[in-house]
Amino acid sequence: MKNVFPSEVMRSKLLHNSEMMWDTGCLEWKGAKNENGYGRLWNGQRLVYAHRAMWECGNGPIPAGMSICHKCDNPRCIEPEHLFCATHAENMHDSVVKQRRRNGAEKRRGKPSATRGAKHELAKIGENEVRAILKDHADWQAKPLAEKFGVSISLIYGIRKGRNWGWLKAEMERDEF
C-alpha cells in the first residue's frame, strides 16, 4: 500500500516526532510504539512502522519480502544510517549473532538446559515415558498415545518433532548409529 503523503511531508512528520540521542547516535521515535518498542505512525491510509517509513523516504519503496533492520538494535531508532535492508532470514541470523533474541524463538533443540526433562517445572511426563513414545510406541497414532500417557496430542507431536524433549530425542538418535 502506497504512502499517501509525499516523502518530504512524511520525513518532516518523522523528524518532528523524534529526538537525537547523542550518546548512541540514534534518532529515537518519540511517538506511538507497539508492544516491542517499534515506532508506529499514520501514513494517510494505515499505521506503518516509523523505521520503514524513514527508509522509504530516503530509498524509495521496500522490495517485496525484505525487512528493514537496525544496525544499532534499537527498535525506536529511525536514523537512516542505522537502517539496512535484509531478508527475514538475514535479520534472524543477525539477531542470533548479536544475541538479541528475547522471545525464546531461538530453539535449543538437542542442547542441554539448566532445567530440562522431568526437572522442568512444566514437565508433564518423565524421561521413560518420552523414550516409550519415541521408540516403543513410534507407530501409534497421537490421540491414543496422548490418552495412554495422560498428555495433550500437541505434546506428543512436539516430542516426535523435537520441539519438546529435543535433547533426549537427539541423544536417542545418536545412540542408534
Residue 102 belongs to some domain of the structure: no
Instruction: State the Cα–Cα distance between residues 10 and 54, nearest whole angstrom.
Output: 8
DSSP structure class, residue 117:
G
Q: What's residue 28's pLDDT?
A: 95
| Integer-rounded Cα radius of gyration of the chain | 23
Number of structural domains in the chain:
2
Please measure the distance between the N-terminal and C-terminal CA atoms of the chain and give it in whole angstroms: 53
User: Alpha carbon 97 to chain centroid distance?
Assistant: 14
Angle, in degrees to the nearest 10, between helices 153-161 and 142-149: 110
Answer yes or no: are the C-beta atoms of 125 and 117 closer than 8 Å.
no
Answer yes or no: are the C-beta atoms of 38 and 83 closer than 8 Å.
no
Bridge partners (DSSP) listed for residue 87: 66
Sign of CA dihedral 165, 171, 175, 176: positive
Q: Give the residue carrying C-alpha cell 531461538.
A: 106
Query: 126 and 80 share a domain?
Result: no
Residue 1 belongs to some domain of the structure: no
Query: 82 and 158 share a domain?
Result: no
State which of 64, 97, 130 marks the end of a domain. 97
Answer yes or no: are the C-beta atoms of 131 and 160 closer than 8 Å.
no
Query: 62 and 130 share a domain?
Result: no
Query: 75 and 29 share a domain?
Result: yes
pLDDT (tens place) for every residue of the chain, 177 residues total:
455 556 788 888 999 999 999 999 999 999 999 988 999 998 888 899 999 999 999 899 999 999 999 998 899 999 999 999 999 888 888 877 777 665 444 444 445 556 677 777 778 898 999 999 998 888 889 999 999 999 999 999 989 988 888 888 888 888 775
Claim: this prediction has a pTM higher than 0.75: no
Grid cell, residue 77, equals 531508532
Q: Provide φ and ψ at 90, rounded to 5°.
A: -65, -40
Residue 103 belongs to some domain of the structure: no
Query: 79 and 130 share a domain?
Result: no
Q: Which residue range is the domain that position 13 belongs to?
A: 7-97
Answer yes or no: are the C-beta atoms of 91 and 69 closer than 8 Å.
yes
